[in-house]
Structure 1
Amino acid sequence: MRPRLPSLSALRAFEAAARLKSFKLAAEALSVSPTAISHQIRALEDSLSCALFVRQTRKVDLSPEGELLYAATKEGFDCIAAGIERLRTRQRSTVTLSATPAFTTKWLVPRMAAFQEAHPEIDLHIHASNQAVDLYSGAVDLAIRYGLGSYHDLLATRLLQDHFAPVASKQLHIRQLSDLNLHPLIHFNWHSPPPAHLTWAGWLQNAGISNLDSTAGIRYSEESHAIQAALAGQGVALLSLELVREEIAMGLLEAPLTPVVEGLAYHLIRPALKQAAAAVTIVEEWLIQAAGTHPKENSGLHQ
């Protein structure tokens, strides 16, 4: 039969005082009064019929009996703490989300602190790539893709409808279409053929401009680099207004020219033939809420 143990609160008070060599510091660590610590330890000594501390004017030292009990309580509390940490680790979930580097940098990263605060039990891993991933491989749980929203064997929920327009630093003072002749055009490489109206050639045609070389200017391999170039005042870029929403709101960039043309849409993608884990569903619902949209789900299942 297991012997009756002293109260856990008394043992906790003793362990803190023994570790810190001070009743006062132990009281601060446990958020109680020094008097409470003293009473707990005195009751523990009475129950064990021995002195656990050698009390001095400004400090306390452990007695031989106290040294023996401290070794046992320290090991016990360390073991409890390790067990609780293992339990917490087992309860955590990991979700991997794939998105383009530009969307990751400009939309996801600024929102990650809010996600972690709302769901500290989920470790969200971001896979930034322009390449489409296989959502049935098990390596990635969700993806955000830019397109029309029709994907084979996948469910697509539209997050954001995109729009494009010429964007420039306010320092360039772009006010009318003729101002485009005064600054370089900034281009970026799409990783799949873009709709014609989302290129400078298509936009200039829609704007009725025929005297400007749509191929001239500065070209970057990544969309995020084109955004940085516009911020640096290097020229005028035809950009996703969704990705530069914050910079426009802060007055760092402006989109003063029309037409504003509709782009494609960002869709949240998950497997249609695979049951989503609870943590994946939580991430999915949080992203939809963060985007401020209502689910508009299209099944890519082919019968």
Structure 2
Amino acid sequence: MHLPPINALRTFEAAARHGSFKKAAEGLHMTPSAVSHQIKALEELLGTALFRRATRKVHLTDTGRAYLPAVREALELLREATERITAKPDKAVLNISAAPSFAVGWLMPRLSAFQVAHPEIETRLSAQIEMVDFADSDIDLAIRHTAKVDTPGLVAHRLMEEELIPVASPELLARQPLRNQDDLAKVQLIHAVPRMGRWRSWLRAMGADKVDAESGPKFDHDAMAVQAALSGMGVAIVNRGLVEKQLADGTLVAPFPHDLHSDLAFWLVYPRQREADPSIQAFRAWLFEQVGQTAAGATDLQDA
């Protein structure tokens, strides 16, 4: 015996569910006569009546009631199998941890470009000062601000060395021109608390011994210090790489041409066993491109 047509089975299930050929027709976007025809053809194929017809309702026969659970199960199995075949694969998720200054000041303005280039990867960014324990978190890779990375089991790439430079808004410099380093005594120095020694180191290197290196407003991280400088509150000292965009568009100005290189850098790190992960490889390649270096030119440190 041939199996019944799938459309006939769908029509039978809808009519049984609604108890009405008319309502089944509405749900299936058919005419009531087409529903009646489908049911009649199914009954003829099976050689038995499935419904008892009334004026406005239809009722399942004993045979119809016995047949309905199997039809519903078959239709559900077909629906699930079709969804599995036609469903788009889930996106890969890449969990990134980054120092707040890097996350807010550098990565976030560029991250949309990575998403456009790699729509198959969903990025989740967490700004964290604390070092990540990869064994005890769902973080896939991290960008750390430190002098060196010597944690066993990690691959590390030096992305960006720290070049400290004072920056201020054009409005502040219009009110108070800074002709030399000693003029910094006439404005507020803006500090990021985790790096309180920056101003002292820069002023000492420039020979500006008349400026109080400790005075001025203090903030939790560089991103807040940059925002304070943008608002005209004072002069911040930050990593040049984190304010490239603001320097380019003129919203911040570097009043002095002198950078101070520190022993710190931003490092991309991830577990060595994850090195071949396609999402990590894609993000690493994109990151190298953004900072202007190649995988071959990046400084790689691996545990033995």
Using structure 2 for the length normalisation, give the TM-score. 0.69
Partner letter of residue 63 of structure 1? T
Contact preservation (8 Å) 2:275, 2:281: no
Q: How does 1:1-303 map to 2 (within 5 A)?
A: 62-66=30-34, 82-83=83-84, 86-89=87-90, 92-137=91-136, 139-153=138-152, 154-173=154-173, 174-177=177-180, 178-190=182-194, 199-263=198-262, 264-295=264-295, 296-301=298-303, 303=304
Q: Alignment partner of 1:253: what SS?
A: coil
Contact preservation (8 Å) 2:97, 2:143: yes
Tell me how far apart the structure 1 counterparts of residues 227 and 134 of structure 2 sit (CA, whole Å).
31
**Shift of residue 139, structure 1, vs aligned partner:** 1.5
**Shift of residue 138, structure 1, vs aligned partner:** 5.0
Tell me how far apart the structure 1 counterparts of residues 267 and 218 of structure 2 sit (CA, whole Å).
27
Tell me how far apart the structure 1 counterparts of residues 171 and 86 of structure 2 sit (CA, whole Å).
53
Tell me how far apart the structure 2 counterparts of residues 155 and 188 of structure 1 sit (CA, whole Å).
29
Q: Alignment partner of 1:126: what SS?
A: strand
Contact preservation (8 Å) 1:158, 1:268: yes
The list of structure 1 runs, each at least 4 consecutive aligned residues, that deviate by more than 4 angstroms after superposition, is 1-6, 65-69, 74-81, 84-87
**1:230-284: CA deviations, max 9, x gaps?**
0010111111111111111111100121421113221111122555422222222
Partner letter of residue 109 of structure 1? M
**Shift of residue 133, structure 1, vs aligned partner:** 0.4
**1:77-113: CA deviations, max 9, x gaps?**
9767743564422xx2111111012211111111221
**Shift of residue 67, structure 1, vs aligned partner:** 5.7
Contact preservation (8 Å) 2:160, 2:291: yes
Partner letter of residue 277 of structure 1? D
Q: CA RMSD in A?
A: 3.1
Shift in CA distance, 81/184, structure 1 to aligned 2, threshold 3 Å: farther
Pick the structure with greater CA Rg: 2
Shift in CA distance, 182/163, structure 1 to aligned 2, threshold 3 Å: same
Contact preservation (8 Å) 1:156, 1:269: yes
